[in-house]
Amino acid sequence: MTSTSIVTPPPTTASGRVDSPRPKRRGLNRPSPAGRAVKYALLLLFLLIVLMPAYVLIVTSFKSGREIGVNGQWSLPTEWTLASWTKAWTALQPSFLRTFELAIPVALISSLLGSANGFVLSRWRFPGADVVFTLILFGMFIPYQAVMIPLRQIVQSAGLPPGIPTLIVVHCIYGIPICTLIFRNYYATIVPVELIEAGRVDGAGLLRTFSSIILPISVPGFVVTVIWQFTSAWNDYLFAIFLSNTSNGPITIALNALAGAQSPDYAASMAGALIASLPTLFVYIVLGRWFIGGLMAGSVKS
């Protein structure tokens, strides 16, 4: 009599496929204490290198001009004074307010125009849409320096006065390409087609779909473009020097005048630079937590 052995079939999944055993994961190689120490030391070194200009900026702004000449810019002030801050604020206050009048409309108008362009080019297709999109993006690759003289001649021929209104028009025009790119990628990957089709079934046209359906879900994209455009308009110097002057221009022109040429006041210049950077720093602190999320929202197709 021969003995028979029972063969156990391999386990199968619910779909009938053979469930092969998964290989065991090896433990992750944790860095040694020496490796962690080297990593933290390098991070600390890079942090110090990045913060050195900020240290000089802050420390120098609280010194007097005589102390800077004697002790240099690296030492702490022997006597802390706000005289440089008072001088800088007095010189920059008018242009500081004018720059808000420039940066806020630029950020809102260019973001709204870019949102409309991005929606039309991504979801409301028409013949030649890709060609139009390519031509719009072409504006991103034209250096500002290459068009400054023709732009100034066009502004003068159109009769536009130098100052904030002209800068608003120019910044809005030059902000349309980047805003259109951001919103087109956002709408192409985030906004479902079924949502737009449902609006069409209910009788919503292009403008109604955009205002009632698209805009309420576009907050992440608007956060990105508003921060981008606000920062670009606030920190702009090239357009400002060509299309405005000290009496009607933004804060970058006044900051350049504060620095002086023959006998610069380093303490007042440092204080003025800090004052000029506070609004953009505040915007990044308040909206920075949504900036990266909004920037990456349309970059990966789900």
Domain map (residue ranges) of the chain: 83-297
Length of the chain: 302
- Which pLDDT score, from 0 to 100, does residue 167 have? 94
Question: Ranked by mean pLDDT, which of 13-27, 35-49, 99-113, 263-277 comes out on top?
Answer: 99-113
- Which pLDDT score, from 0 to 100, does residue 175 have? 92
- Which pLDDT score, from 0 to 100, does residue 5 have? 47
Question: Ranked by mean pLDDT, which of 61-65, 178-182, 211-215 comes out on top?
Answer: 178-182
Reply yes or no on whether the pLDDT at 250 is more than 70: yes
> Rounded to an integer, what distance in angstroms lies between the CA atom of residue 48 and that of residue 53?
9
Q: Are 115 and 215 in contact (CB under 8 A)?
A: yes
- Full DSSP string of 118-159: HHHHHHS--TTHHHHHHHHHHGGGS-HHHHHHHHHHHHHHTT
pLDDT digits (tens, 9 = 90+) for 155-210: 989 888 889 999 999 999 999 999 999 898 888 877 677 777 787 777 777 788 88
Three-state SS string across 59-86, please? HHHCCCHHHHHHHCCCCCCCCCCCHHHH
Residue of 300, 155, 296 lying closest to 239 (CA atoms) = 155
96 to 86, 192, 255, 269: CA distances (angstroms) = 14, 43, 10, 15
pLDDT digits (tens, 9 = 90+) for 130-152: 888 889 888 888 888 888 889 99
Kindly state the average pLDDT of the residues 38-42: 91
- Which pLDDT score, from 0 to 100, does residue 301 have? 47
- Which pLDDT score, from 0 to 100, does residue 119 have? 87
Candidates 3.40.630.30, 3.40.50.10880, 3.30.565.10, 1.10.3720.10; correct CATH number of 83-297? Answer: 1.10.3720.10
Residues with Cβ < 8 Å from 86, sequence gap 6 or more?
none
Where helices occur in the chain by DSSP H, the ranges are 33-61, 65-71, 83-123, 129-138, 144-157, 164-189, 193-201, 206-209, 219-235, 238-243, 251-259, 266-297
Residue 256 CB-density burial (10 A; 0-12 exposed, 13-18 middle, 19+ buried): middle
Question: Ranked by mean pLDDT, which of 113-117, 263-267, 280-284 comes out on top?
Answer: 113-117
Residues above pLDDT 70, as percent of the chain: 82
- Which pLDDT score, from 0 to 100, does residue 21 have? 55
Lowest mean pLDDT among 9-18, 217-226, 259-268, 276-285: 9-18
pLDDT digits (tens, 9 = 90+) for 68-95: 766 667 778 888 888 889 999 999 999 9
Per-residue pLDDT band for 302 (boundaries 50, 70, 90) equals very low
- Which pLDDT score, from 0 to 100, does residue 143 have? 85
Supply the pTM of this predicted model.
0.79
**pLDDT, the chain, mean:** 82
- Which pLDDT score, from 0 to 100, does residue 24 have? 53
Reply yes or no on whether the pLDDT at 293 is more than 80: no
pLDDT digits (tens, 9 = 90+) for 104-122: 999 999 999 999 999 888 8
